[in-house]
């Protein structure tokens, strides 16, 4: 989570590249909160940081565990494959009907629905299995904010994280950044 990765400049000679291949490395950050409201507030804060170009957020979700032990996942507005297909069918089929006719519009809408359904199923972020596994580690009544971040400005993230009362549950960040993030969460 450094600014150097964001600018795309080459690292100094003799240092290992931050990631192999052409794709940036994505880091998982899971923060446990005492209630669901704090987790949703943290998700909104992450979206605000993304709008300010302080982080690149690849995926985010809020996982809750109720008193009965049931785990619920809120993906933050990502449509299901069926919803994406229905939206694409409506968006492509209705305008085509006015221009070329009913049968061609149905065929175009069906093709758009197929492509949108397949596109929305691609693996971009957290799997449902991973999120449910994280939910079983929560206390009953607790919640967690799960974030998949590829780039970020550490000073901006730490300033925002200090507002929240949470604990770092799981992360793939490097050791020094992990320690700074845990300290910022523990700060009053």
Q: pLDDT tens track of the chain, all 188 residues?
A: 443 344 444 344 333 444 455 566 888 999 999 889 999 999 999 989 988 988 888 888 899 999 888 999 887 655 556 666 666 666 666 666 666 767 666 776 776 776 666 666 555 677 788 889 989 999 998 999 999 888 888 899 999 999 988 999 999 999 899 999 999 998 76
Token couple for 4 = 């150097």
- CA proximity to 34, closest of 141, 131, 133, 162: 141
Predicted pLDDT at 11:
40
* CA-atom Rg of the chain in angstroms: 20
147: left (phi over 0), alpha (psi -120 to 50) or beta: beta
Predicted pLDDT at 143:
94
DSSP state at residue 172: -
What domains appear along the chain, each with residue ranges and CATH number? Answer: 3-14+24-79+136-186 (3.30.70), 81-120 (no CATH)
Q: pLDDT tens across 63-102, in order?
A: 999 988 899 988 765 555 666 666 666 666 666 666 676 7
Place of tokens 């009913």: 102
Rounded to an integer, what distance in angstroms lies between the CA atom of residue 54 and that of residue 113?
A: 34
Cβ neighbours, 10 Å, residue 26 = 17
């Amino acid at each position: 989570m450094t600014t150097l990765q964001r600018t795309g400049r080459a690292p100094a000679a003799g240092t290992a590249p931050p990631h192999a291949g052409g794709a940036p490395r994505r880091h998982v950050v899971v923060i446990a909160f005492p209630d669901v409201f704090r987790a949703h507030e943290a998700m909104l804060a992450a979206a605000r940081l993304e709008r300010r170009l302080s982080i690149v957020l690849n995926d985010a979700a809020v996982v809750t565990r109720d008193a009965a032990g049931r785990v619920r996942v809120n993906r933050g507005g990502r449509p299901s494959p069926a919803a994406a297909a229905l939206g694409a069918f409506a968006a492509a089929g209705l305008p085509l009907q006015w221009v070329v006719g009913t049968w061609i519009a149905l065929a175009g809408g069906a093709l758009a629905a197929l492509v949108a359904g397949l596109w929305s199923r691609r693996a971009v972020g957290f799997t449902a299995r991973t999120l449910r596994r994280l939910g079983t580690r929560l206390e009953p009544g607790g919640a967690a904010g799960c974030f998949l971040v590829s780039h970020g400005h550490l000073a901006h993230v730490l300033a925002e994280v200090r507002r929240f009362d949470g604990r770092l549950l799981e992360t793939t960040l490097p050791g020094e950044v992990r320690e700074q993030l845990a300290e910022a969460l523990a700060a009053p």
